[in-house]
Amino acid sequence: MPVIRLNPWTGILAMLLILPLGLACADTELDTREHVVKVVTVTDGLEHPWSMAFLPGGDVLITERPGRLRILRDGQLLPEPVPGLPEVRAYRQGGLLDLALHPDFEDNRLLYFSYAGNHADGITTHVARGRFEDDALHDVQVLFVAEPASDNGRHFGSRLVFDNEGYLYITVGDRGDMPRAQNLDDHAGSTIRLHDDGRVPEDNPFVGRSDARPEIYTYGNRNAQGMALHPVTGEVWQNEHGPRGGDELNRIRAGVNYGWPVISHGIDYSGRDIGEGISEQEGMEQPVHHWTPSIAPSGMAFYTGDVFPAWRGNLFVGALAHTHVTRLVMDGNRVVDEEPMLREMSQRIRDVRQGPDGHLYLLTDHNNGRLLRLEPAD
C-alpha cells in the first residue's frame, strides 16, 4: 500500500493535508513502487476539465466540458476563455471534449477539438479545427459529424490522435444504444480515420461498400475515452469503458470488430448478461488487457521521458470510477504488471499527458478541477 509522506506543516495546513487533494492546495508526496512522487497543483478553478494540449512556447490549452477553452500561461489560468468556438451542447456527458495539435502546428497553428453539438434534431459528436492565433480561434471548420444523431446524452467517445503518417483518429461511443456498435452504416461505436482536412483515406477498410460508412476504421467499440500512439510501433492504442466490468485496452487495427455488445468481459448494470453472455467469439477481437471491476478508464499516455526513468515505456491510464492512475508495465504488446497509483487523492482522473518537460500531467474531473504535475520527490 502506498504511503503518504507529508512535509512538515503546522496548524491549519497540516489539517488540510489529510483531506483529498481536491480540497487542499498543498503539494503531496506519495510512494509508488518505482518512484516517490510529488503531486503539484499547477492550477485549479477548472470546471470539469476534459483535455489539455501543450503549445510551443509554454502555454497549455485546457478544455472545460461546459464549453470553454482556457489558456494556462506562466502558471496562471487566464480569466477569459478563448473566443471563436462553435456552439457546444453541454448536455450530460457531452460538451467541449478533446484537443489535438496538428503535427505541423508550429507552422500552421491548426488546433483540432471534439465536442457534442446539435445536429438533425439531435445531438452528436463533432470534430472541428481552427487556426489558433492571438489567443483566439479563427477560420473554424467542422470536419466530421457522427451520424445519425441521437437525443441521448451518453457515450460521445471523442478522443483525438494523429498517427505518424498524419491521419486523424476519432473515437465515437455507442451513444448508449448498444446494437449501433455492430452496424457499419452507423458511426456510433467506432473509431474514425480521416485525413487532416476531413477527407476519407482511400485505404480505409470499408471504402466502396454500400452498407458501410467509409470513415469507419474499427467497430464494435463501446465508448473509448483514452487513445495514444505507441512510441515504438506507431500503432494507435485505445481504452474503452465497459459496463459493470469489462473495461478494455486495445490495439487499433484496420477493419477489426472489437465485439461490443455481442461479447464482453462485463455484465449489464442490471446484473444481466450483455449480448449473448459470452466473452469470446470467432471474428471478434480480444482486448490486450481488461479490468473487472470497472475502473472507468479515460485519458492515457505512454511514458517516454527521462524524469522517471523506471517508468519509461509504461502506459498510464486515468481512472474515473476508482479515482486513481493505473500504471501498466508492457512487454511488447502484452501487459505484464499493473500498479494502481495515487489512490490517496480520491480524484477522478480525466486526462493523462506527458509534458514537454518529461513530467506527467493529470486533469481531475470535478467542479473545481485541477491540473496536476507529477515530479520526482527526491
Strand order in the sheet with 36-46: 4-5, 28-31, 36-46, 369-376, 360-364, 349-354
Task: Tell me if 46 sits within 8 A of 371, measured CB to CB.
Answer: yes
Task: Report the range of poorest mean pLDDT among 1-15, 44-58, 187-201, 340-354.
Answer: 1-15
Omega before 293 within 30 of 0, i.e. cis: yes
Q: Please give the average per-residue pLDDT across 276-292, as a whole number.
A: 96
Residue 27: the pLDDT is 86
Task: Tell me if 51 sits within 8 A of 97, measured CB to CB.
Answer: yes
Name the β-bridge partners of 353: 361
User: Which strand (E) or helix (H) includes residue 109?
Assistant: none
Name the β-bridge partners of 337: 329
Rounded CA separation 297/242 (Å): 9
User: Which strand (E) or helix (H) includes residue 99?
Assistant: strand 96-101
Residues 6 or more apart whose CB falls under 8 angstroms from that of 360 comprise 301, 303, 308, 316, 352, 353, 354, 373, 374
Domain count, the chain: 1
Name the β-bridge partners of 76: 73
CATH of the domain at 138: 2.120.10.30
pLDDT surpasses 70 at 302: yes
27-43 b/e (C-beta count within 10 Å ≥ 16 → b): bbbbbbeebebbbebbb
Q: Please give the average per-residue pLDDT across 335-358, as a whole number.
A: 97
On the 0-12 / 13-18 / 19+ scale of CB atoms within 10 A, 298 is buried
Q: Please give the average per-residue pLDDT across 291-301, as a whole number.
A: 97
* Chain segment 164-200, per-residue pLDDT in tens: 999 999 999 999 999 999 999 999 999 999 999 999 9
Rounded CA separation 240/248 (Å): 5
- Tell me the three cell numbers of residue 241: 469503458
Rounded CA separation 230/237 (Å): 7
pLDDT surpasses 80 at 12: no
Catalytic residue among 119, 126, 155, 187: 155
pLDDT surpasses 60 at 163: yes
Written as one letter, the residue type at 261 is P
Residue for grid cell 500552421: 108
Task: Tell me if 104 sits within 8 A of 112, measured CB to CB.
Answer: no
pLDDT surpasses 90 at 110: yes
Residue 275: the pLDDT is 85
- Tell me the three cell numbers of residue 254: 484496420
Q: Is 230 a catalytic residue?
A: no
Residues 6 or more apart whose CB falls under 8 angstroms from that of 359 comprise 305, 307, 373, 374, 375
Residue 10: the pLDDT is 32
* Chain segment 65-93, per-residue pLDDT in tens: 999 999 999 999 999 999 999 999 999 99
Q: Domain range holding 162?
A: 4-376
Strand order in the sheet with 60-64: 49-54, 60-64, 68-73, 76-77
Residue 26: the pLDDT is 55
* Chain segment 216-239, per-residue pLDDT in tens: 999 999 999 999 999 999 999 999
Torsion of CA 273, 278, 282, 287, to 10 degrees: 90
The structure's pTM equals 0.93
φ, ψ for residue 24 (rounded to 5)?
-125, 145
